[in-house]
Structure formats: structure tokens, C-alpha cells
Chain A
């Protein structure tokens, strides 16, 4: 069965630090990839998505992610984090055969002011 692995469960950074959150998936076929974010007390929302084309995708709030097919990875990056980026981040995969999304276990990001 498809699975999604997020390497870090909890990350603590200072403001202006660079961020990279790891994500690997197990499915070998065509995949659609997502990062979702849940800010404290808010709904889960889509941060960015990859379907095809340029493997470097840009999302909201300065986030980007790179799809590396050979590594089955879709890591999330931001060059300079802000206190407002404190949230839980979920990597997710869709196999393209149906509309289901499989989520990773999430990474809690805490930014120190």
C-alpha cells in the first residue's frame, strides 16, 4: 500500500532560518504530490501541489517544494522562516487512479521569535 514518510516530527527554528522538511513516498507509478498546512486553531489548507511539469513548485507564503522522482521525494523548503509559519505540515500523495489522498504523519514546526 502507498505510504508517506515525513522524517521530522518536530522542528524548532529561529526566525530567518532556512527550512527544509523531508517527505518520501512509496508508490512507483505516476503520483500527484501535496503539502498541506494547519495553523493553530485553523482548518487544514493546501500549501502547494505538484502534478506534472517543472519539478520545482512554488506555493503560498514563499514556500516551495522539489519533486525528485529518482529519490521518491518531495521536500518542502523556505529560505527564511517567520514566526507566523508556526504550524503543522503534512505531506500527501495521490496515486492518480482515484481521488484519495494519503497523508504523512505530519511535522510540527515551531518558530522562535
Chain B
């Protein structure tokens, strides 16, 4: 079974804090993705990575950055958290050339106060 794990299920941070969300996959997938999920807005792609040290912006990258130093790990960074970044964050991974095999983690519900 493919496993995508995220470091926290629930996180509460204060405005202005630097926040790290970690994602690890155990299936040697080349692709990794970060989405945010908001009611009525569906899933929106923040950043994705096709390979180690490689990243590309998704649809809503503002206020976020990412890091992929190892193939299995993809980190999402909120440089200075704001209340409008309160959301559910989902990580996913997939093999190269197989977009349908996108496996999702359980999500991190982040609240910024």
C-alpha cells in the first residue's frame, strides 16, 4: 500500500509565525504535490515537484514556499502565517507519467489565529 504521511493532523499557529508542513511518501514516487482544500473551493494546487530540488508553482503559490531535498519528502513552508491561510492542506504523490495514480495523505488542518 502506498503511504503518504503528513507530520500533523491538526496545527494551531499565530499570525506571523513561520510554519512547516511535512509530507513523506514511501513509494519512490517522482511527483509530489501540495494542495489546500477549502469548503466550496475544492482542491487548489499550491506547488508541485517532479524531482528532487525541483519545484513549480501551482495556481495559488503566494505566501508559500516548498522544499524537496530528498525524493520521499516534500515540505510546505508558510513564511509568515496569516489568518487567510487557515485551511486543510493535502499532500499527494504520484509516479512520473501516471497522473491518475495520485495518492493523498490524511491532511493537516491548520488554524492561524
Shortest Cβ distance from residue A50 to the other chain B in the assembled complex, whole angstroms: 9
Closest chain B residue to A94, Cβ basis: B99
Stretch at the interface among A12-20, A67-75, A78-86, A100-108: A100-108
Q: When each residue 4-16 of chain A gets 1 if its CB lies under 8 Å from chain B and 0 otherwise, what string results?
A: 0010010000000
Q: When each residue 87-112 of chain A gets 1 if its CB lies under 8 Å from chain B and 0 otherwise, what string results?
A: 00010001000111111111000000
Tell me, yes or no, whether A25 is within 8 Å of chain B by CB. Answer: no
Number of interface residues of B (CB under 8 A): 26
Tell me, yes or no, whether B61 is within 8 Å of chain A by CB. Answer: no
Residues in B neighbouring A98, C-beta threshold 8 A: 99
Summed over the interface, the residue pairs from A and B with CB atoms below 8 Å come to a total of 51
- Asked if residues B100 and A51 are in contact (CB atoms below 8 Å), the reply is yes
Given A46-B100, A51-B100: A103 in contact with B106 (beta carbons within 8 A): no
A-B contact pairs, 11 of them (CB 8 A): A6-B42, A34-B100, A43-B105, A44-B90, A45-B104, A51-B100, A99-B31, A99-B94, A102-B45, A103-B35, A106-B43
